[in-house]
Structure formats: structure tokens, C-alpha cells
Amino acid sequence: MIKPILRICVCILFYVGIFAQETPDERMFKHSNSFWNCKDVLYVVGTGEESNNPELKKIFNEWVSQGRIVKHEDKLDSTDFKKHLFFFGTINSYKYLNEFLPAACKISFPGFNFGNYNFVKKSNAFSLYTSDSTRYFQIGNSLPALKSLWTINCEVSQYIIMEDNSITHHGFLDNNNFSQENHFDLLRARENKFKKYETEYYVFSYDPEIFLNSDYKKLLKAEDDKLKNILKVLDLKTPQRKIECFLYKDIAQKYYMSATPGFGNTFTHAWQNHSIGLASVEHESIHILFDNLIGGYSTFFSEGIVGYYYSSIDSLEWKKNRLNVSKENNFIINKYLPNDSRFSFSALDYSASAFFVKFLIDQYGFEKYKLFFNYAVVEEGLEETYGKTIEQISKEWEGYFEKNKISFGPTRKMIFKIKSDNLPTDSQIFITGDNELFGNWNPGTAVLEKQDNGVWSKEFSFPEGTILNYKITRGSWDNEALDREGNVPPNSIYEVLKNDEILIEIKYWKDTL
């Protein structure tokens, strides 16, 4: 089983018209969610010359063993067309694919067309939902391209097009017809908008607005120092190629110029890191280095090695991971380990992965973990590397967990106070972070109240021992608070040990420099 790695309009003002229709949040995963919310999905197998490829047949047989409904393309009847149809294969594994595809996309050997764009390289592949979200296609010009598409698992748009292991185009159809207005050529858009700067380990492409009034060279070179420490702590060889790092100013820009959601994502095998500012560069670079230099397939164990790294260099991070898992009643690690388990990217999932990987390395050593990490099937890797089944290794972890679990203390009151001169009197200020009371990083949830003395404040209650990562905004990431030099700061970290007040003075905001 292969791991999900995710770990334009040519005009520079590429998303202005789009925003008038739907916001990125409304568009992201809209078609994929609609397709997979239907329980009546039919898996359509091709009858072309490559349909007998052993790797494809293995996948098809797995579908059958999992109880999924599978039919060959030439056996579909009128009843089948009322179901949601999923097509997966190479262009040569189907004979009749053009009969099922929407007008916007057609197979034209040796590749495929989207509107006036031709994609004929063997590394090209596409993922596409029809406008009514009843048909879904994952098609590659070759089997390696199809595998690369499969591992991305990042379908935030109606369609994505890949080349050389990364997304190069994405967009939305107009009633199944190609729409130039809603098609995004990512390479050209970044070329028009971004500047470049090269360091020892990175080739940075960035929106200049990120570093207004900042020493961008100093900030970018600092990422080299972080990467050197990653290589040291994780005992990795110096990479023979540089990481391409694309830095976006906000979520909307990142979405339209990379077809990826959230703060940070990688195209691991393309050695690409996509991040909002510098916030997730270090985290995503660990994925790129470890996955490429060691191997790896499971998201749980890939995120776990990142968590292990931070737990190794920061005692508070290790304590936070233990707290997050310890507070769960009847926590069971088994559900995370099999290949078919789903990593939901919650705070608990991240902490559980870090906790378990630290257990494996503490108990059995780092070299064994590297060997295990390279197995595609977790069960096989555990037995070959550690001589244990999932049940046996889980039992061992329970003993490790009991020795390392910690509990929260009594409830403490925390008052956050924000002072910022020269803001309009009706301004709102928010605190956001990795806690439910802080909105779980939603920048416009936890609002502070304006006091008569001109200070914004809010009181929170947390159990003693809670570790908070947080930032200050005025409601969105476009207007987050900056540090005293006018730079986007790292997360503030605070461990709740007593009743306390924190006064934060803010001189600069991202939108008022």
C-alpha cells in the first residue's frame, strides 16, 4: 500500500474573480467529498492492453477482497450509470475511457488533452471529478505517473494535473467543459509572481510581500541551520539535491498557486515544500529528507518521526505529546498501526504518532526504526524488523505508556492582555492556537474584549500542565501580529503552571506595515 504524501490563470491577480464566486474554503474538497459521500460507488476496471499489469491487478483484487463492487468497462449497464463510477489506471489500461470522460478532457495517445493543453509526457497524470461529482478518474500516462498521483491524495480542486511527481495545473470545469478562467497554470503563475533565493540546502521561491521590512536573506539562511540540525539528530546523510521551497503569503494564495490546503505540504518525490511563510518549512523538510533518504509509506510513522525530532530537541514538546495521549480515556494504539488506518491530522493523532515512534526508538534503537520505516506493509515491517505482531508491539507500548504517562494538575486561570496603539477603536483582536479554547488555529474564533484602558483581554481556564502554542491576529492570517522587527514570528509557547497574566505589546501587524 502506498502512503499519501502529502505528508492559474496567467494573470498575477489570478484569484480576484474566483473569490466573487466561492471562497477557497468552500471550494476545497467540494467535489471529492460529494463523490465519496455516496455509498454506492462502482469501481470500473479497464480492458486495454495494460489492464493485466500485475500491479494493477493486485489493486483490483484488493478491491474485490474488501467487498467493493468491481466491473469491467465493457460490462456496464444502465443500472450502473446511476451509481458513482471510479476509474483508476493508465491510459493504455482502458479501451473506452473517452466515452466516460467529460468534454473538457480527452485521451489522445500518447497522452491526454485538457482544453488546448496537451500532456504527453510519461510523468503526466490527472485526477478529475465530473461537474455533478458522479464520476471520478485517476489516470496516468504510465504506471509510475499513476502511482505518483495516487500518493498525493490532495484533491482540493475539481481536477489536478501532475508532472514529475508534483501538481502543475488544477482547476474547475464549467458544466463539464474546459474553462480557461478557472484553469490555473501553477508554474507560470509562480514564475510571474515569485522571486528566488538559493541557500546551501534550499531553492526558495517566495512572494516578496512575506518579507516586507525584513532581512529575508538572514531568515532564509536560518533555515539551513535548522536543516543541519535535522540531519544530525535523525542521523541522515547530506542530501545530494536541494529542496525547492515555495513560500506563500496566505492560505488563498497557497491554494490557488499549489493546489494544496493548510499551512504546509510536500511533494516528497519532487523534493518540493509548499508553506505559508516559513511556518512549516522545518516540519515539511523532515518529511522530504526522511522519506527520500530512508523510504517510508505510512503517514502515521512519517508524522511520528517528525514528532520524535521535536520531542528530542524540546522537552515541552515531548511533555505536550504525553499529555495529549494521557488525557484520553482507554486510549488504544492498535487503531493507528495497520496500513488501512486513517490519519486524521488531529492534535491527538500527531501526539500518538510521536509517542509511539519515540517508544520504538527508545526500546529498539534508531537503526532498526530506519529499517522498519522502509516497509510498505506495517505488519510485515514489524515482524521482519522487531519480530512482533501488531498485538505484541502494542502490548509492549502499553508498558512504556504507563511509565511515561502524566496527568494534568488543578485548573488555573490565565488572562491574556494585548496592547496595540494606533488601531481603530472598533478593532477586534483574537488569540488562536492549538487548543480548543483558542479555536484550534482558526484565526477568528477566540476574540478578546476591549477594556476601558485600551487593552484587549480575555480570561481562560486551563488544567495545570497544559502547553499552549498560540499567535495573535485581528481575525485572519492576513492581519496576524508581527514581532518587533516586523517579521512573522514563530508560535509563542507557554506552559500553564500557575494563575497568571500575560501582557503582549504589538507594534506591527501584517496588513499595516
- Give which of 411, 483, 418, 477 is closest to 451, Cα–Cα: 418
More confident residue, 297 or 118: 118
- Residues 249/277, Cβ–Cβ less than 8 Å: yes
SS3 453: coil
Query: Does the pLDDT at position 62 exceed 50?
Result: yes
Q: What are phi and psi of 332, to 5 degrees?
A: -125, 125
pTM, entire model: 0.85
404-421 pLDDT tens trace: 999 899 999 999 999 999
Percent of all residues in the chain with a pLDDT value above 70, rounded to a whole number? 94
Q: What is the spatial distance between Cα 434 and Cα 412, in angstroms, rounded to a whole number? A: 18
Q: Tell me, what's the pLDDT at 295?
A: 81
Domains in the chain (CATH in brackets) are 16-189 (no CATH), 194-293 (3.30.2010), 300-404 (no CATH), 411-505 (2.60.40.10)
pLDDT at 347: 87
* DSSP strands (E only) in 56-158: 69-72, 84-90, 105-108, 111-114, 117-119, 125-129, 135-140
Query: What pLDDT does residue 151 have?
Result: 77
Q: Measured between alpha carbons, how far is 85 from 198 in angstroms, rounded to an integer?
A: 45
Cis peptide, bond prior to residue 110, ω within 30 of zero: yes
The mean predicted confidence, pLDDT, of the chain is: 90
- Identify the residue whose cell numbers are 495545570: 464
Q: Counting Cβ atoms within 10 Å, is residue 456 exposed (0-12), middle (13-18) or buried (19+)?
A: buried
CA gap 432, 348 in Å, rounded: 18
